[in-house]
Structure 1
Amino acid sequence: MMPFPSMPRAAAASSLQQARQRMAWLLLSPALLVLLAVAGLPLLRTFWLSLSDAELSDLSARQFVGLANYLGEGGVLNDPQWWEAVRNTLWFTLLSVSLETVLGLGLAIMLNQRSRLKTMLRAAVLVPWAIPTVVSAKMWSWMLHDQFGVINSMLLALGLIAAPLAWTADPDLALLTIVLVDVWKTTPFMALLTLAALQMVPADCYEAARIDGVPAYSVFLHITLPLITPALVVAMIFRTLDALRVFDLIYVMTSNSRATKSMSVYVREQMIDFQLVGYGSAAATLLFVLIVLITMAYMTLARRRMEGN
């Protein structure tokens, strides 16, 4: 009696992999449907409104205008204030994310050291991140006030400045001031994610380096940094997404100032102040497209770099 031919291992593995993928999609489908309903439908409605001349006073009395809100003579892409908002947002994102990554990495390394006060220090570091953004923005606005702010008082007492500075009103200082406030608030977030990655690094790597007498900076460059790079990339992507859509911090501290106006503030100004829902929806759609493109480019470059290493 001849035995039945056995299925090749490769075919069996492929079939098992396909079954796992089908099960994964089946388990993810409820969450994907909810995400589509919560995020997808509002995005589609925003895009549809961007193709009309809808106004906030009467959304029903709108007419289809095609791409006029984007490319027309008075469209978003032909508005100098829009490009100023894009520039401000990109500068804010670049400066804040870079500083938060570097400071968060240093803070995480400090918190990863053995100490009896480790738990208390970690809790203290997370306090700025736990404060709501609107509250911290208002708090810093008072502290940075040019007349009665404590920051100017301290700098005057130390002789570092000769006269009070208008931190949030001076166009040359406003954007940098907002970046520093954002760094103060969000660095703990970067430190927390980085600290989690540091604690996943195998202790054997450090023990072998210590026995071989490898200098501390070489251990950091050739062991620690490569192993935590994937976590750093994820943290930077999260922060980039958050920074590109920044609104509350800038609006509370400087309102509609052209020196600091972000793309989200520009969208709010068009929709609420000017009641141009169609025009504002076009700006919001462009903001969404820009965030998607930057995130895809970010992830592609990071993946290529990690594969190259």
Structure 2
Amino acid sequence: MSATPELDVERSDERPVPPREGRRRHLSDRSRAERNLGWRLAMPAFAIMVAVTGYPILQAIWNSFFSYRLTDPENKHFTFLSNYWVALKDGVFWQAVGVTFLITVITVVVEFFLGMVIAMVMHKIVIPRRTLRTIVLIPYSIITVVSAFAWFFAFRTDSGFVNHWFSWVPGIDPSTDWFGNFWGSIFVICLSEIWKTTPFMSLLLLAGLAQIDTSMEEAAEVDGATYWQRLTRVILPNMKAAIMVALLFRTLDAFRIFDNIFIMTGGANGTSSLSVLTYNQTIDRVEIGMGSALAVLLFLFVLLIAFIFVKAFKVDLAGGRS
């Protein structure tokens, strides 16, 4: 007599019920109302954002179709894609692209490994975490211009202390001119960028570490997994979303580097980035048309990088609460 209800229970448990569809049908009215409310609340801010950012982008695209020099506005004439063609054929443009990619790769890779180490230390540390996070964030809280000037004067031959402190290192003496060659300039630029933005990377990775269920790591340790195995098979896979966000934000920010290069070298010794090249064309040479074309190309590079990151990591950020 008791076998029949048990069999019925097993059948009801094994019946495939799509959880997402059931939840969507059950909460469709509520979800629709919340979605409409969210759009109404966000619409004013969204409209202001489009007006503030959308208009300059469209204006830059429009100006890029003209041969337009600010000191000679009467000779403004439509050239369509001529500015883009001139830029893409110019070796200076591709050199700036190469320097931008070089600085981006070096800084983001180093910042990721240092940020991961700092995040794991802060995650396991016993002392008050808020105090430690505040201390770690000090470099990131400094204005980029102030930080760039500090590193610039630290490495100068006349006012810097780096050459005197590290004169015992082979290849460094009091007369070493760090900004007299390409690789010396790149080293200082990357070092200043890494020092300032590694705390930002570490906090983003720390947020990802906080989302990992500690029982998973403990179970792997009980099963005899080494630390490297726990790191590569438990910790990092569960931090995929946080890693993608951290790398994406820092890559986009590093690709638009301007302050450090402008203050330290001004683009000399072949260290000009895309942002510095755009500034020189638009501000120094007042070539509004060519400068706008370079700005649009920089914008397209940023969009391409974001697209590659999202496709490569294949993370559904909208589907998870973390």
**Normalising TM by the smaller chain, what interval?**
0.7 to 0.9
Aligned equivalents of 1:9, 1:199: Cα separation in 2: 31
Tell me which residue corresponds to 2:103: 92
Aligned equivalents of 1:293, 1:255: Cα separation in 2: 27
Report which of the two structures shows the higher radius of gyration computed on alpha carbons. Answer: 2
Tell me which residue corresponds to 2:155: 144
Aligned equivalents of 1:198, 1:274: Cα separation in 2: 48
| Offset, 1:24 | 4.0
The one-letter amino acid paired with 2:57 is L
The one-letter amino acid paired with 1:76 is A
Residues 104 and 11 of structure 1: CA distance in aligned 2, closer, same or farther (over 3 Å)? closer
Per-residue displacement from partner, 1:261-289 (whole Å, max 9, x unpaired)? 00010011011111111111111111111
Tell me which residue corresponds to 2:306: 295
CA contact (8 A) 1:174 1:259 kept: no
- Are residue 43 (structure 1) and residue 57 (structure 2) matched? yes
Per-residue displacement from partner, 1:227-270 (whole Å, max 9, x unpaired)? 11210110111111111111111101111215210001001101
Tell me which residue corresponds to 2:3: none
The one-letter amino acid paired with 1:47 is I
Aligned equivalents of 2:42, 2:232: Cα separation in 1: 38
2:70 to 43, 56, 61: 56
Correspondence list, 1:1-309, <5 A? 12=25, 15-16=28-29, 20-57=34-71, 59=73, 62-71=76-85, 75-116=86-127, 118-156=129-167, 158-161=168-171, 163=173, 164-303=175-314
Tell me which residue corresponds to 2:14: none
Q: Normalization by structure 2: what TM-score?
A: 0.84
| Offset, 1:28 | 3.2
Identity %: 34
Q: Which runs of 5+ in 1 are unaligned?
A: 1-7
The one-letter amino acid paired with 2:304 is L
| Offset, 1:172 | 2.5
CA RMSD after TM alignment: 2.5
The one-letter amino acid paired with 1:160 is P
CA contact (8 A) 1:129 1:186 kept: yes
Residues 60 and 102 of structure 1: CA distance in aligned 2, closer, same or farther (over 3 Å)? farther
CA contact (8 A) 2:67 2:77 kept: yes
Aligned equivalents of 1:96, 1:252: Cα separation in 2: 18
Q: Which moved more, 1:205-214 or 1:87-96?
A: 205-214
The one-letter amino acid paired with 2:290 is Y
Q: Which runs of 5+ in 2 are unaligned?
A: 1-20, 318-322
May I ask how many residue pairs the two structures share in their alignment? 296
Residues 210 and 148 of structure 1: CA distance in aligned 2, closer, same or farther (over 3 Å)? same
CA contact (8 A) 2:156 2:177 kept: yes
SS at match of 2:83: helix
Residues 88 and 11 of structure 1: CA distance in aligned 2, closer, same or farther (over 3 Å)? closer
Q: Normalization by structure 1: what TM-score?
A: 0.87
CA contact (8 A) 1:128 1:188 kept: yes
